[in-house]
Homo-oligomer: A and B are copies of this chain.
Amino acid sequence: MAAYASSLVFDDIPPDVVEKAKLCLMDTLGCCIFGSTLPFVKVLTNMVLAEGGSDAAAILGTSHRTSASQAALVNGTAAHAFQLDEVHAGATLHPGSVVVPAVLALAHGARLSGRAFLTAMVAGYEVGIRIGLATDGGMFRRGYHNQGTTGALAAAAAAARALGLGPGATAQAFGIAASQSAGLMAVQEGANAKAFHSGRAAQSGVYAALLAGEGFTGVDDVLDVEYGGFFSTLADGYKPERLTRDLGHEWETRKVGYKLSPASNGSITAMDTLRRIMDSNGVKTGDIEHVTAHVSTNTLHHCGWDFDPRAAKGVLAAQMNLRYGLAAMALDGCATPAQYTEARIKDPKIAEFLAKINVRVCDEFDRDGALRLASRIEVRSRGGATYVDQTLYRKGSVEDPVSTAQLEDKFLALTHAVLSRSAASMGIEQIRTWDALPRVPGSGSIWGRQR
Residue positions of A touching B, CB distance < 8 A: 40, 43-44, 46-47, 50-54, 56, 67-70, 142-145, 148, 175-176, 178-193, 196-197, 200, 207, 210-211, 214-219, 222, 225, 227-230, 232-233, 314
Contact = CB atoms under 8 A, between A and B. Distances in A.
A67 B44 contact: no
Contacts of A181: 182, 184
A395 B56 CA distance: 49
Contacts of A196: 176, 179, 211, 216
Contacts of A183: 179-180
B218 A187 contact: yes
Nearest to A42: B214
A298 to B, nearest CB: 13
A363 to B, nearest CB: 23
Residue among A184, A200, A216 with max Cβ neighbours from chain B (10 Å): A184
A236 to B, nearest CB: 10
A68 B178 CA distance: 24
B51 A69 contact: yes
Given A197-B179, A219-B191, A185 B233 contact: yes
A219 B187 contact: yes
B47 A214 contact: yes
A228 B191 contact: no
6 pairs of A and B residues whose beta carbons are closest in the complex: A185-B228, A143-B233, A182-B182, A52-B54, A186-B228, A51-B67
Contacts of A145: 228
A107 to B, nearest CB: 16
A195 to B, nearest CB: 10
Contacts of A184: 178-179, 181, 219, 222, 228-230, 233
Nearest to A50: B54
Contact of A176 (B144, B193, B217): B193
A19 B187 CA distance: 39
7 contacts: A40-B215, A51-B56, A51-B68, A180-B200, A181-B182, A191-B217, A192-B216
Interface centre among A185, A190, A207, A217 (most CB of B within 10 A): A217
Contacts of A222: 184, 186
A142 B233 contact: yes
Given A44-B216, A143-B229, A176-B196, 12 more contacts: A43-B216, A51-B53, A52-B54, A143-B232, A144-B228, A145-B228, A148-B179, A175-B193, A178-B184, A185-B228, A185-B233, A192-B217
Nearest to A47: B210
A225 B191 CA distance: 13
A297 to B, nearest CB: 14
A59 to B, nearest CB: 14
A15 to B, nearest CB: 37
